[in-house]
Structure 1
């Protein structure tokens, strides 16, 4: 069995898979560092945690009580948001790999440290358990240089200012789910509170809407999506750097347009602000899609995943109506499952003896 961990800033999610990628049990600890809940399977318990290590201890104890002791796992596998320009494949978490992940923390200061906290905690609890990781940026490493390079001086590019792309594990899982039926030119949408798209040509990412950070590209739940850099500079002068960052990442997007980042609620509302926010979301998804279709040289099918992509048929229908100029193509809805992809990656590495 493989134990998959996804350690966030205030939560710890786990899922257990067998050797053929059947999900056996899943759970999470919420509100790390304060009063929260531990949910495992159908059982929910009120708990108070100190940190990631304490949350993991409690989760492992609950797993053991449920019949999944730590000794039953062949390996653990982690989600790491950012691998930088170097980590472009899943890897076993040995010291050099961990050091590389630590070195790119400046590229994902809100994510990589939390991801690593789960790694460190498990090292202490089960030092002999092999640990693996998969990177959210790795799927887009196949983007050509013309797609990743910003038109800025070389020194800044060398310092890591380039397009990386995110949601890569979701797109990789989508490709795996298609199997031999994968279309040659696939336009993939991952639509949730965070939203992106990816041009997938013969199973490889050719272009994606997110860039240096997850802020760019489509209109999102609380992120603005693309915005002119000069506008950001102007806002930063009046608001300050921290407040501008908060506005663009936490108070932008659907939240800014309609006062709510819940697409289900917006679709149920009957007011101009909600209708405009929904149209803005769909318009910019389709507009970025046109660019992606050009990048991969055609369109054979469209696939949707993520909370909105899977559950909001009116959004899918509106985006496809806007894309009708590219012809009538099959539309697929695929369940997002990053944890399954992480387990798949770990099993592949283990099969190779790594």
Structure 2
């Protein structure tokens, strides 16, 4: 009998839900949230609000929840962990509620999945959460003992695209290949995945310039700016993540709008745009050096990888390293469903979350 898996993916202004029957998607809906969401002081206060909307959406689609085999939610900010599936348990839920500063919108999905699954007496999972960190020891050294390098962000989509590329384009198992995967979005991450493990990575706040992230900046001037008295801590963090990168220079992070400005002859916009591609290519080159250039494929993925202008600029600088595969978009729902199905079929074993 085919497995029926409910997928939950909460975002800042919407909640995506889907139902998969084995690998086939049979239901999909995006629930847009109104200004009512702004009335909540803490992200976890939205749990009941979003759960009611999810249940209503399933009923509207005439879906019977008792037919579900499992539920999978996008994993949020839990302690650094290995890749793969984690069965959601009370320890995870209690942790999520205990760490207010590390609250991530995806954590809402973990709690909703746990509550719904418990009522149905079925398992609930997260898969490749934001906190996946499998860096090799040498990649953790930052040069400052107080600051160990860690890996966060885009694990779900980058690993899914590497797995897909291995199977469909190379005819190999994921664990037999070496990939550099570049996730292009409002932030950019560059990951080196060898034999199924992300052994090195630049996260979206410590590498290249992106649409809304400053990327690496010189340390001394940054420290001086922090202590200049001009900005609060929150304002400085916003300069690095949220209002950095091209948004800081051009006042927008809308890629289509930026490309239109460039086509209309704005040379400054063109320079900043080229800097984004230039620094991204440099990060790819750095990752290639880690494995002496022994790369099967370089994958460009994420929403911004839909831009031919951007991918062309990046590809021309990195194609000498390895063939470049364009795999634009985000496939988080499919990746969660496929991962959960592998667990249900006994192809993978879910981790047990402990502290």
2:297 is aligned with 1:306: no
Q: Specify the alignment match of 1:235 in structure 2.
A: 225
**How far does residue 105 in structure 1 lie from its aligned partner after superposition?**
6.2
Pairwise CA RMSD? 2.7
Q: Specify the alignment match of 1:292 in structure 2.
A: 287
CA distance in 2, matches of 1:277, 1:241: 26
Counterparts in 2 of 1:295 and 1:138: CA distance versus 1, 3 Å: farther
1:14 is paired with a residue of what secondary structure?
strand
CA distance in 2, matches of 1:273, 1:8: 33
**Alignment counterpart, residue 146 of structure 1, candidates 138, 160, 176:** 138
CA distance in 1, matches of 2:208, 2:29: 30
Q: Specify the alignment match of 1:268 in structure 2.
A: 260
Counterparts in 2 of 1:203 and 1:145: CA distance versus 1, 3 Å: same
Whether the 8 Å contact between 2:162 and 2:179 is mirrored in structure 1 is: no
**Alignment counterpart, residue 316 of structure 2, candidates 305, 316, 321:** 321
CA distance in 2, matches of 1:193, 1:94: 32
The count of residues paired between Structure 1 and Structure 2 equals 324
CA distance in 2, matches of 1:103, 1:150: 29
TM-score (norm 1): 0.82
CA distance in 1, matches of 2:166, 2:63: 31
CA distance in 1, matches of 2:214, 2:5: 37
Whether the 8 Å contact between 1:218 and 1:226 is mirrored in structure 2 is: yes
Q: Which has the higher contact order (CA 8 A, sep 6+)?
A: 2
**Alignment counterpart, residue 58 of structure 2, candidates 30, 49, 63:** 63
Q: Specify the alignment match of 2:109 in structure 1.
A: 118
Q: Specify the alignment match of 1:209 in structure 2.
A: 202
**How far does residue 14 in structure 1 lie from its aligned partner after superposition?**
1.4
Structure 2, gaps ≥5 residues long: 39-44, 351-355
Whether the 8 Å contact between 1:90 and 1:345 is mirrored in structure 2 is: yes
2:9 is aligned with 1:6: yes
Q: After superposition, give the CA deviation of every residue in 1:75-107 in whole Å (9 maximum; x if it has no partner).
A: 11111133433454311111234345567765x
2:342 is aligned with 1:351: no
2:216 is aligned with 1:226: yes
Large movers: runs of 4+ above 4 Å: 99-106, 122-126, 137-140
Q: Specify the alignment match of 2:90 in structure 1.
A: 95
Structure 1, gaps ≥5 residues long: 37-49
Counterparts in 2 of 1:58 and 1:102: CA distance versus 1, 3 Å: closer
CA distance in 1, matches of 2:201, 2:63: 39
CA distance in 1, matches of 2:224, 2:324: 41
